[in-house]
Amino acid sequence: MTDIFTTAITTLQVWGFFNFFFPFILLTALFYALFRKSKAIGESPLINGVVSIVISFMVLDFQVITGFNLQTSFATFFTGATVFILVFLVGFLLASFFYPDLNEFLQSVFVRRGTLFGMIIIGLTIMLVSGFIVFLTTRPPAQPTQSVISSDVANLLAGIILFVVVLVLAISISTVREE
């Protein structure tokens, strides 16, 4: 006989909670926090909330149009991220035995640009392993009245954007070193 938790999770999965409702709530909260912190579209909580909800619906619309399943990717991503965070916390715990003032040591390490790039690479690796890379490669089916960009043009545009981002980062690094 199955326990109550298995029954509850199976029921929520059948009702679409893991595929639609929970990702919608998570994305809305993440976008809202991002907009509130960055003040990219102003300081109004109403505008930040409305834009966050609209973006979350658009992500779910992509999921419905392409048939991409967010449930598997989210589960894999958060499991991988949790394992990484637990390893990190155990590492901090063990390091606290050898460094009496661990907070001061960490403050000296985490201000370096290399640490930031390392964290970004680890995050992108977890994202790649979990299957979120499908967002970059899956295109919705073409509508009859819609023009479709070929994959060659899309790859060229992605390469140009990536080149510009790397160029801006290189210029900002050289500017910081000159100061």
* 159 shares a domain with 130: no
At 164 the pLDDT is 74
**pLDDT tens, position by position, for the chain (179 residues)?**
678 888 988 888 888 787 788 888 888 898 899 989 988 888 888 888 888 888 888 877 777 777 777 777 777 778 888 888 898 889 888 888 887 788 887 788 778 788 788 888 887 887 777 767 666 666 655 555 555 556 666 677 777 777 777 777 777 666 656 65
Report the pLDDT value the prediction gives residue 137, as an integer from 0 to 100.
Answer: 65
Last residue of a domain, one of 41, 67, 93: 67
Host domain of residue 81? 68-144
The answer on 117 and 93 residing in a single domain is yes
Name the nearest CA neighbour of 28 among 12, 50, 46, 44: 50
Q: Where are the alpha helices (DSSP H) in the chain?
A: 4-14, 22-38, 45-66, 70-98, 102-109, 113-130, 134-137, 151-178
Do residues 60 and 72 share a domain?
A: no
Q: Do 18 and 1 share a domain, yes or no?
A: yes
Kindly state whether residues 72 and 23 are assigned to the same domain.
Answer: no
Task: Examine the domain organization and report whether 92 and 155 are in the same domain.
Answer: no
Q: Are residues 9 and 49 in the same domain?
A: yes
Based on the fold, state whether residues 123 and 159 are members of the same structural domain.
no
How far is Cα 34 from Cα 39, in angstroms, rounded to an integer? 8
Q: In this predicted structure, what is the pLDDT of residue 166?
A: 76
Same domain, 1 and 60: yes
Q: How far is CA 72 from the centre of its chain?
A: 15
Are both 81 and 33 inside the same structural domain? Answer: no
What distances in angstroms separate CA 70 from CA 23, 26, 82, 93, one per listed residue? Answer: 8, 12, 18, 34
Name the amino acid, one letter, at 27. Answer: L
Same domain, 138 and 156: no
pLDDT at residue 56, as a whole number: 85
Shared domain for 98 and 140, answered yes or no, is yes
Query: What's the number of domains the chain is made of?
Result: 3
Residue type present at position 56: S
pLDDT of residue 163: 78
Q: Residue 141: what pLDDT? A: 56
**Residue where a domain terminates, one of 35, 67, 99:** 67
Last residue of a domain, one of 38, 67, 96: 67
